[in-house]
Chains A and B, each alone.
Chain A
Amino acid sequence: MAIGADRGLDDAGAVFTALADPTRRRIVRELSADGPLTATRLAARVGISRQATSKHLFALADAGLATAERHGRETRFELDTRPFAEAEAWMRAIGALWDRRLQGLKELLERDA
């Protein structure tokens, strides 16, 4: 199995693990809509402490889903969209598999009908 499937799988795994936490889902949505943002601004938007926000941000960064960049005294966080695109592609592939199964079922049943 070549074709970079393993890379896509790692990315999908990181994305789904990150999204398993509802607070991280909110952070991801905020960064997606308006990133880059600092932990302080994100904390205000999400409604949790700055410390809790930082913890989630570094978890996202560790998983390769966000990047941190220093601007003077500020650290701004931004989503890395590539793993999300991989996860979407992965889900599209599963969706395509169901399409084929359902089409196969339809053909089987209507042929025998």
Chain B
Amino acid sequence: MSTTPVPDEIRKDVTIDVDREQVWAALTVADQLKRWFPTKDARVDLRPGGELYLEWDEDIATGIFDEIDPPNRLVYRWHPGGDDLPATTVEFTLDDAPDGTGTRLTVVERGFSQLPADKRDGNVEGWESELAELVEYLTTLKPRH
């Protein structure tokens, strides 16, 4: 019997027919972030070590910015559920789309297997909060066609 090893990262990309500056603004300007993430409230302190704060009706999540290179690359450490333990790293990369028009945006979330064993309880608490958010999305959103 064989099982696929669980991957340590999630990688997704999308091609958007606008320039990189516009995509960068959507990632880093709180009012824009609120509209697509989507969140009820968002605060962005865009400097290394600055905080990303996201708020939903019954949940908050925070991140700390590690790398800010407009309009190319944005990296933050993601702390689901307001947990102050690092859980994962989220990295956005912006490239010109291969066909020459628009922007290819890639997001990589990694670090799922880097959780220290002795911090497990705290992390599980954080994950629980994130999972609740996921399940809510999954059960309330209709399939897209």
Residues in chain A within 8 A of chain B (CB atoms): 1, 3, 5-6, 8-10, 12-13, 15-17, 19-21, 25, 28-29, 32-33, 35, 78-79, 81, 84-85, 87-88, 90-91, 93-106, 108-110, 113
Q: How far is the CA of A103 from the CA of B141 in the complex (A)?
A: 13
Q: Give the docked Cα–Cα distance between A108 and B32 (Å).
A: 9
Interfacial chain B residues near A78, Cβ < 8 Å: 1
Q: Is the CB of B12 within 8 A of A93?
A: no
Number of A-B contacts (CB under 8 A): 123
Q: Are A101 and B37 in contact (CB under 8 A)?
A: yes
| Neighbouring A residues of B26 by C-beta, 8 Å | 105, 108-109
Contact call A81/B1, Cβ cutoff below 8 A: yes
Q: Is the interface of A mostly helix, strand, loop or mixed?
A: helix
B12 touches A98 (CB 8 A): yes
| Residues in chain B within 8 A of chain A (CB atoms) | 1-8, 10, 12-18, 22-23, 26, 32, 35-38, 105, 107, 109, 112-117, 120, 123-124, 127-128, 130-132, 134-135, 137-139, 141, 144
Residues of A near B113 (CB, < 8 A) are: 16, 19-20, 25
A63 → B minimal CB distance (Å)? 10
Assembly CA distance A84 to B128 (angstroms): 17
Which of A3, A9, A21, A102 interacts with B107 by CB under 8 Å? Answer: A102
User: Do the beta carbons of A91 and B10 come within 8 Å of each other?
Assistant: yes
Contact B124 A84 (CB under 8 A): no
Contact pick for B137, options A12, A81, A97, CB 8 Å:
A97
Task: Report how far A32 CA is from B4 CA in the complex, Å.
Answer: 8
